[in-house]
Amino acid sequence: MTVTFDYAGKAVLVTGGTRGIGAGIAAAFRAAGAEVTVCARTRPESVPDRFVQADVRVPEDVDRLISGFDRLDVVVNNAGGSPPAPLEGTSPRLHARVIELNLTAPLLVSQRAYPLLAAVGGAVVMIGSASGARPSPGTAAYGAAKAGLHHLARCLAAEWAPLVRVNTVVVGLAATQDASGASPAATRDAADHYGGRADLDGRAIPAGRMATPADVAQACLWLAAPGYVTGAEVRVDGGGEIPAWRHLVSGDIS
């Protein structure tokens, strides 16, 4: 069975929507008929949607971004990420910036967008991370920010009900495009996640593969559609990751 969505006449904003998961989300809403606006800090060479150059960590940029809408039905707070950043020996400013991007910015965008969303019974979808639901060594600030984002979504869902629904897609390890969009970055992502072991790509995930942008986008389409669900966390992680002790007792990983 194929589930289809009709977003004709709807205005959708996807932050960080020019590449990777964000580009996949924007493409899915566009295919469903929505008028899609994407924003990012740098202008891409080409983007099929309406593009606004903005740093969502900067209040003035967010004000300018939201002021460009007469109507707004859906906000997908996708902008985020972090370089590898062990806590010891790294700049406090780096960790502050990671938290600003992954927690403060979605709060700011949602706050500014609220009047437009409330006027039409709209929805916010936060793009969370499995790193916010389990220990995140090497990216502690990122994991803490994503945990805060999950909680922020639940708080806003309660505070803004019934006018605006707010939900979270909790994404596990994902295969995305490289900066050129030419080839999957799955091998690199897996190697980073598993300490350089690119051969472990997908083996620790019960579903047998990493998530794709299309997998995440389908969850966003469902959560953003009019309905009853709010304050929910939908995990798009292929069943999570198999605990390390399973490999230790079976000898699958040497």
Residue 85 phi, psi (nearest 5): -150, 75
Q: Cα separation of 59 and 55, whole Å?
A: 9
Is residue 20 within 8 A of residue 177, CB to CB? The reply is yes
Residue type, 107: L
User: Shortest CA distance to 157 belongs to which of 68, 47, 252, 233?
Assistant: 233
DSSP 174-243: B--B-TTSSSB-HHHHHHHHTTT-GGGTTTTSTTSS-B-HHHHHHHHHHHHSSSS--S-EEEESTT----
Helix (H) or strand (E) holding 125: strand 123-129
Is residue 11 within 8 A of residue 73, CB to CB? The reply is yes
Choosing from 7, 114, 142, 194, which is the catalytic residue?
A: 142
User: Shortest CA distance to 39 belongs to which of 112, 93, 98?
Assistant: 112
Q: Cα separation of 214 and 31, whole Å?
A: 12
Q: Cα separation of 81 and 138, whole Å?
A: 13
Residue 194 annotated in active site: no
For the annotated catalytic residues, the residue numbers are 142
